Amino acid sequence: MSTVILTPLHQYMFTSELARFSYMPSTTSSVFEIRNGAGASLLNQEYVVDGAGVITVHALDKFLSDVIEPDTQPTFSFVIDGVSIGQFVAIECNINVEATASDFLFAQFLTSMQTARDTDHLRYELLSAFNPSDEEFRVEAVYLDPMGKAMTRTFRNIPSATTSDKIKTYNVSSVLFKAPAVGELVSYTAICGKRRATYNVVMNAMPFDPAFIFRNSFGVWETIFFVGEKTTDSQFTRLASTFDGRYQTYDIDEVLMLTASTGLMPSGSDRLARDVARSMAIYLLNDDGSTGRQVTITDCSVKATNSDELLPAFTFQYRHASSNEVEFRYVPYYRIFDLTFDMTYE
């Protein structure tokens, strides 16, 4: 009897699809091996069948995730008893998607957010797609002219902001699609093949502080903005002892803890919030779209409800990852007149 593969392999595989890999060998033991695209062996292990004659290799999703470098989509092959049984392109994914990678990648953008988002002209928005064949990426924008009539305009040939040969990341910030001569931008939809993502432009939006840029569940960069309450609280750890007959402090460690709320968000935003909660690469987002200081989430509330009467809001407690926690922003003294002005003049 030949080896029977129980976990199917496709051309493209999410790492989460390989949490368990099962096969039924023709003997009571079998050597399972993983090779990279260059043919180098990454794992070589002999296994013994269970009572049903099946071998199941666990946690390959975590193994491959540790091997895959950021922003890469490498090729791997599985080899059983010296015979290659399949080669595939691995895509980072740490959630269970209710579709195969081959079906999802060419129909959806690489984001957990499947509903329309709210945005404004100050927000830096990123959207990624698995697009190895360079399908056209375009944006269809909707405007209201001064008479209240809806107008449309299509933006084509939008370049990607990354150099990956398979995954393309696009800047879809609303400020890029402003067209005052046409009207006031009210919404726009990003389209790439079958993929669609809609953004609703909020007028007079609340200012955000902070904003995060983070690697989402697909390993690509995404942003989230906090327009709700923000609090700061320094937590001190003091070490003291008796010196020369006096009880004195000899070391103080200060950790600045910050708590930020998203404010009310559209329904379905809990998926985005949970992506932030599970991310291990989170940075403050600078105004120009670059990454600022790295932060670490210490606690969060990402509770959601199916009630039609309540919009979700999420809260994150975080600290800066660096040991130097306290920031002091120096604001130079502002003078109306130059240094020759007599400050004693009344």
Give percent of the chain with pLDDT exceeding 70: 92
Give the number of C-alpha atoms closer than 13 A to the C-alpha of residue 96, restricted to the C-beta side: 3
Q: How many residues does the chain have?
A: 346
Identical fold between 4-98 and 106-205: yes
User: Is pLDDT at 104 greater than 80 in this prediction?
Assistant: yes
pLDDT confidence band for 157 (50 / 70 / 90): confident
Comparing 74 with 268, the larger pLDDT belongs to 74
- Degrees (nearest 5) of the Cα angle 93, 54, 19? 10
Estimate to the nearest angstrom the gap between the alpha carbon of 34 and the chain centroid.
Answer: 28
DSSP designation for 289: S
User: Is pLDDT at 300 greater than 90 in this prediction?
Assistant: yes
Q: Is the Cβ–Cβ distance between 78 and 21 less than 8 Å?
A: yes
Residues 6+ apart with CB under 8 A from 341: 335
Amino acid residing at 274 = R
Looking at residue 217, its pLDDT comes to 95
Looking at residue 253, its pLDDT comes to 85
Architecture of domain 106-205: Sandwich (2.60)
Q: Can you give the pTM of this predicted structure?
A: 0.86
Least Cα distance to 109 among 267, 273, 220 occurs for 220
pLDDT confidence band for 261 (50 / 70 / 90): very high
Least Cα distance to 149 among 120, 201, 119, 186 occurs for 186
Least Cα distance to 292 among 201, 222, 211 occurs for 211
- Domain boundary assignment for the chain: 4-98, 106-205, 206-346
pLDDT confidence band for 204 (50 / 70 / 90): confident
Q: Kind of pairing, strands 83-91 and 12-14?
A: parallel
Comparing 153 with 306, the larger pLDDT belongs to 153
Q: Which two tokens stand for residue 224?
A: 């989230």
Q: Does domain 4-98 have CATH number 2.60.40.10?
A: yes
Give the number of C-alpha atoms closer than 13 A to the C-alpha of residue 252, restricted to the C-beta side: 9
